[in-house]
Structure 1
Amino acid sequence: MLDLLAAAALSLGGQTAETAPAAATAEHCGALSKQLGSEFGAVESVAVAASGEDPAYCKVSGTILPTITFEMRLPIGNWNGKYYQAGCGGFCGNVITGGPAYSNSIVTATRRGYAAIATDNGHRGSSPGDASWAQGNPQGLDLFKGKWIPLTYAAGTSIVRAFYGQQPRLHYFVGCSNGGRAALVAAQRYPTLFQGIISGCPVINMTKSGGILGSWMNKVNLKDGKPVLTSDFVRKLPFLERQAIKQCDARDGKRDGLISQPYGCRINFSAIKSCPVGQSGSETADDCLTADEKSVVAKWYQGPVDSKGRKLLAGFPVGSESYWNFWYLRGMNQARGNDLAGGFLRYLAFDGTRPTMTGADFDFDKDPAKLEPLARELDPTNPDLSAFDNAGGKLIMWHGMADPLSVPYQSVTYYQSVLRRMGGAARVQKFFRYFLAPGLGHCWEAASPTAPEEFDPLTPLETWVEKGRAPDQIIATPSSRQGALPVSKVVYRPYPQMPKSLAADNGGAVSQ
C-alpha cells in the first residue's frame, strides 16, 4: 500500500498536508454541524483524537435529506485534498465505516488522508441481507437504485468545503459487491462526478444474481422438500476443492494449486469417489460424495437453466468450493448468500407482492421475464461509457474468480460488451481496465485458501488519474490472516491477459 507519510505529502494545489487550511482544526470541527445547509437533517460533529494508525479527524454524522444516514471523516492536519465516497454491501441499511481495506470501508481512505464518507444508501435494515425496507417504500428503492450517489456527493463535498474552506481537487468512488454495482452506476449515470472509480466484484446483474441464481441454488438443493447439502457438507468441501484443483488447475498451462481459468472446465464426477449406496451425506466419510450430492454440486456449477435447457446465468465457478460454507451452507437460513437471495425474492423482485416467496417457488420459464422492468433500473449493464471517458474518468474493475455470490462471468460479459460498444481494447483500456483475481472469493469476506489476497487497487488508480500512467499490473501477496499457500504472489494483468502466479517454491520467477 502507499506509505502513509507519502500520502500525507501529496500536493494540495499549492498547499501540503502539513499546512492544511487553518479552518480544519478540532475547535472548528465542533461548530461544523451548525454551518451546513438545508440538504441535511440532524447532524453532529465531533473531533476524534489520533489513535494507532488512525489520524486525528473530524467525525460528522447524521442525515442527508431525504433519508440517507451517513458518517464522514475529515482528517485534521493531514488532508490530501481529495474526496472519497464508499459504496456498501448487500442491501445496505447500515453505515459501516470499517472492513477490508478497499471493500466498502472508509478507514483506510482516512488513513491515507482522504476526506471520506460512508452511508446506508437511504434506508435502515437489520442486516445486509434485510430487504424488508423496500416494501411500500418507493423513495427508498429509488435511492438504493442509484440516486443516493449524487445526493451524497453534493452533501459530502459541501462538508469538505465548510471544513477546509475549499473544494476537493479530486473525487474517488470505491465499492465492492453492491458497492461495486454502485460504482458502475456512478460511471454510467453520473459520469462527471468522479475522476477515479473502483468497482470490485460488482453485482452487475443483481436481478439475475438474487432472483435467478439465488433461486436456482436453493431449488436444486431440495429433495423431498429437504436440503441435500447442509452444514454437514462443510466437512467435504476440502475434498471437493482438491478434486476441482486436480481436474482444472492445469488449464492455464501450469500446475500451481490455483485455478486461473474456472470457466470452461467441466468436472468429471465419475472420477470423484462415490460414497456407498444407501448412506446419507451425514453418514459418509469426508472423502466421497453421494449420488445426490454429486447431482446438486453439478447443478451449482452448471447454473440456472429453463425447462428447455437454455442457460439463464453462469453457475458457481470451479474453485469456489471453500466459500460455499460462508455464503450458502453455514446454518443454511443464516448463511449470507441465502439471506440475500431470500430478501431479494420477497421484497425486491416482484414489487414486494410475494412476501412469502422462496427459491422453490421460482418459475425459471416465466419469472425471469418479470424481473426485466426492475433490471432496467437496478442493474448497471449499459456498455456505453463514452460520457465517463469524455469527462476524463478512469475506472478499475476487478473480480474474484472464485466468487460464488456475484459470479465473475457477469463482469467478464459486461467488459466484453463495453469493448464491442466502444470500439475495442485500444480505446477502452485508455480509461477502463479490468483485472481477474484467481482464487479470490467475494470482496475479502472469507480468506482464500489457495491465492494471495492482499492487493491495493487504489494506488494504481491514483497514479492513473493524477499522473496519467495506466496500470499494467496489480500485485497480490498473502495477507496476515492467510496460512501457507501454494502460490506466494499473483500478478493481475488487464483482461484479456490472464494473471501470472509465482509458486511458493519456484525460486522467484513468475510462472508463465
Structure 2
Amino acid sequence: MLINTMKDLMKKYDNTILTLPNGGITITSVKYVPEGEHSCEFEYDPDHLTYHTKGFVSIQGAIHGCDKEATDICFEVAVPDDWNGKLIQIGGGGFNGIIRPCHLNSFVDIHAKKVKTYVYGRTMEDPTLVSDGYAVCSTDSGHKVKFEWDASWALNPEVLRNHAFEHLKKTREAAAFLVSELHGKLPEMTYFFGGSEGGREALEVVQRYPEDYNSVICFFPAINIVTKGIKDFFVGKRLLENNGAAWLSPDDRAYVKQVASDVCNGDVNDWKCALERKGEIFEKLALKLTPAQIKGLRALTDDMYLPYPVANGVRKIPGYLAYLGIGLDLLYPSSPFETGREMMPMASDTVQYIIMRDPSFDTNDFDVEKYKEKIIEASELIDATNPDISEFKLRGGKLIILHGMEDEVITPLSTIDYYESLQAKFGDELDDFVRFYLIPGYGHNIGRFIVRHDFIETLENWVKNDVVPEELIIEDVIPENNGRTIPIYPYPGYPHYKGSGDKNKAENYYKRTK
C-alpha cells in the first residue's frame, strides 16, 4: 500500500494545491528510509557521520514560479511511519540556497564546508524529530547560491519575494498536502523551528502567517537583515580606510577582551553591567589602542540611526558587543587589507542585490539619504520587525525566542529591541504567549557554552499541558566542559516573575558559565 502511494506521489500537481500564486508542484524524488543506522551522505563529511532513525518517507519536490525566469522553491519533507499528527518546518541560514536535512540533528554549513553535529539544542546523539514522530519539512527558499554570501538571485522579483517570506507558506502547504497523501489527514498542529536566517523566518511566520502556525521557536534571529547589512557595510568601509589603520591584531583583540573582563569583574555576560560600563571600557582601551582603532571599534559597537524610519518605524540599528571582546576573530579580518570575515561580504551583496538590485551598481556610491526609497522598500519586504502579532496571540500561538550573549554575527541587542517593542505593544499580556531568553556564553551556534536542551518538548508542554516555561536548565555540549548545566530565565535574565526568587543573587547566575 505504501509503495503504491509513493509511486502516486511521483507526478506533477497543478497550481491549485497552494494558496499563493505558483506554477504547480513537481515531485522529484520519493524514497523510503527503513529503521536503522544510516550514513549521513553529506558532501562535506570527512568523519563519515551516521544517524539512527525510525522508518520514514523522504519526499523532495519543486514549487514552480509564475515567472518562467524564477527559480524553483526546492523542498524536502520527511514523513515518519509512526506519525504523531504534527508538522515541524525548519528554517534556513545565511542567504539560504540549500535544503536543510529534515531527518537529522545536524546541517551542512555550506560556507564553512563542514557538518555541524548539533542544531539548536539537539545533538547527533539525541533522537531526531522524525524519530519522535514529527513530519519535518525544509526548503532552499527558492534559489541556489553560486558562492559564499551570493545574493545575485535577488534580481528576480518573484525569487526575492519567495525568499523574503512566501516560500514559507508555499512549503508548509505543499508539505501538509503530501503528508495527507500518505496518512490520509492534514497535520493537526504545525510548528516552526529556526535560527539566524531561520530565526528571521520564524518571526516572519508569526507576523505574516499566524493562521498557519500553532507555535514557534526562534534562535538568534536575523531580524533586521536589511538594516544590519547597511550598518555592516559602513563598518567595513571604516575598517578598511587609511590602509586598514583601524585593524586589531590578535594581541589587540586579546587586550580588548581582558579590559572588558576586568571592568565587568570577570563577567562579560552580565549584559546590564556591560552596557552601563561601556564608556569605562573604552576609556581603558584608549590607553593602548590608537585613535583609528578606537574609531573602528566604535563603528562596530555604537548604535547607528537612519535619518528616517524604515519598516515598522525602525530607525535604530543596534551595535555589536565587540567591545567585550566578543566575536572579534570573526568580525575582524586576518590582515588590515582584507575585506572582512562574515559580515562584510554579506553586507556588500545586501546593498548590491537586495537594496539596489543592480549588478552594475558601484557600492562606493551607496548613500542612505540618496537611496531612501530603495532602502525602505527592501526593509518592508524582508525585515521581520513588526511587533503587532495580535492574530498569533488570539489563535493561542506560543513563541519562544533565544539569543546567545556572545553572538558575534547577530547582535543580541537587536533581539532585545524587538522584544521590548513587543512589551510596549502587549504589556503584561506578553507573558501569556512569548518567552525570551538570553543565554550566557553562547554565540552563533559556537561559543564557550553550546546549548543542549529539548526546546520542542518545552514548547509542547506549554502548548498541550499549559506548563509555562520559566527557569530552563540547559546543558553544555562542549566535551571538555563535562556536561555542565546552568539555568536560564525569561528576559531580563533572572527570576523576575511575580517577585519570586532573590533578585540580587539571581542576577549573577551568568557567572556559572565560567
SS of the aligned residue for 1:220 comes to: helix
Give the equivalent residue in structure 1 for 2:134.
Answer: 114
Change (3 A) 1:210 1:103: farther
Counterpart of 2:375?
371
Change (3 A) 1:435 1:112: same
SS at match of 1:410: helix
Which of 210, 214, 229 does residue 210 from structure 1 map onto? 229
Task: Give how far 1:405 is off.
Answer: 2.5
Q: What is the TM-score of this pair, normalised by structure 2? A: 0.78
Q: For 1:475, what is the secondary structure of its paired residue?
A: strand
Aligned partner letter, 1:269: F
Deviations 1:375-416 (A, max 9, x none): 122112221111111111111111122323322222222222
SS of 2:61's equivalent?
strand
Offset at 1:224?
Answer: 2.0
The alpha-carbon distance between structure 1 residues 191 and 306, as it changes in their structure 2 partners (threshold 3 A), is: closer
SS of 1:477's equivalent? strand
Contact persistence 2:246–2:293 (CA under 8 A) = yes
| 2: CA distance, partners of 1:330 / 1:149 | 37
- TM normalised by structure 1 equals 0.78
CA distance in 2, matches of 1:127, 1:393: 37
User: Equivalent residue for 1:269?
Assistant: 282
* Of 163, 176, 187, the match for 2:195: 176
Give structure 2 stretches of 5+ with no counterpart: 15-23, 38-50, 66-71, 108-117, 308-314, 496-505
Deviations 1:101-133 (A, max 9, x none): 238999942243211111110111134611011
Give the whole-Å Cα distance in 2 for the aligned partners of 1:365 and 1:505.
44
Structure 1: give runs of 5+ residues left out of the alignment: 1-22, 250-254, 276-288, 507-512
Distance (Å, rounded) in 2 between the aligned partners of 1:60 and 1:104: 23
Distance (whole Å) between structure 2 residues aligned to residue 410 and residue 370 of structure 1: 22
- What does residue 393 of structure 1 align with? 397
Moved more, 349-358 or 139-148: 349-358
Q: Please state which structure has a larger fraction of its residues in strand.
A: 2
- Tell me which of 27, 37, 40 is aligned to 2:13: 37
For residue 146 of structure 1, report the CA deviation from its aligned partner: 0.6
1:161 is aligned, of 180, 191, 194, to: 180
Aligned ranges 1:122-133 → 2 under 5 Å: 122-127=142-147, 129-133=149-153
Partner of 2:416: 412
- The whole-number CA distance in structure 2 between the counterparts of 1:477 and 1:273 is 38
Aligned AA for 1:33? Answer: L
Corresponding residue number in structure 1 for 2:61: 62
Cα deviation, 1:401-447, whole Å, max 9, x if unaligned, reads: 2323322222222222222222x02x1111111111233222x0xx2
2:256 is matched with: 240
SS of 1:110 mapped into structure 2: coil
8 A Cα contact 2:261 2:267, kept in partner: no
Percent identity for Structure 1 against Structure 2? 25
Deviation at 1:469, TM superposition (A): 1.6
Contact 1:102 1:108 in 2 (8 A): no
Closer/same/farther in 2, CA of residues 297 and 475 from structure 1, 3 Å limit: same
Contact preservation (8 Å) 1:94, 1:127: no
The alignment partner of 2:256 has SS state of helix
User: What is the aligned partner in structure 2 of residue 149 from structure 1?
Assistant: 168
RMSD over equivalenced CA pairs, Å? 3.2
- For the 8 Å contact 2:58–2:79, the answer to whether it is kept is yes
Mapping 1:10-409, distance limit 5 Å: 25=2, 27=3, 30-31=6-7, 33-34=9-10, 37-38=13-14, 39-49=24-34, 50-51=36-37, 52-66=51-65, 67-76=72-81, 78-97=82-101, 98-99=106-107, 100-102=118-120, 108-127=128-147, 129-135=149-155, 137-211=156-230, 213-226=231-244, 228-229=246-247, 233-249=249-265, 256=267, 258-261=269-272, 262-267=274-279, 268-272=281-285, 274=287, 289-304=289-304, 312-318=316-322, 321-329=325-333, 332-333=338-339, 335-352=341-358, 355-357=361-363, 361-363=365-367, 366-367=370-371, 370-409=374-413
Name the CA shift for 1:328/1:364 in 2 (closer, same or farther; >3 Å): farther
Q: Which amino acid aligns with 1:419?
A: Q
AA in 1 matched with 2:261 = I
Shift of the alpha carbon at 1:489?
A: 3.3
Count residues in correspondence.
448
* Structure 1 residues 493 and 128, CA gap change in structure 2 (3 angstroms): farther
Q: Is the 8 Å Cα contact of residues 59 and 72 (structure 1) preserved in structure 2?
A: yes
Cα displacement string for residues 299-329 of structure 1 (whole angstroms, at most 9, x for unaligned residues): 322243579xxx8422111576342323542
> Given the superposition, is the C-alpha separation of residues 489 and 265 from structure 1 closer, same or farther in structure 2, using an over 3 Å criterion?
farther
Residue 95 of structure 2 aligns to a residue whose secondary structure is coil
Q: Within 2, Cα distance between the matches of 1:29 and 1:420?
A: 51
- Deviation, structure 1 residue 475: 2.3
Structure 2 CA distance, aligned partners of 1:505 and 1:314? 25
Contact 2:151 2:350 in 1 (8 A): yes
SS at match of 1:58: strand
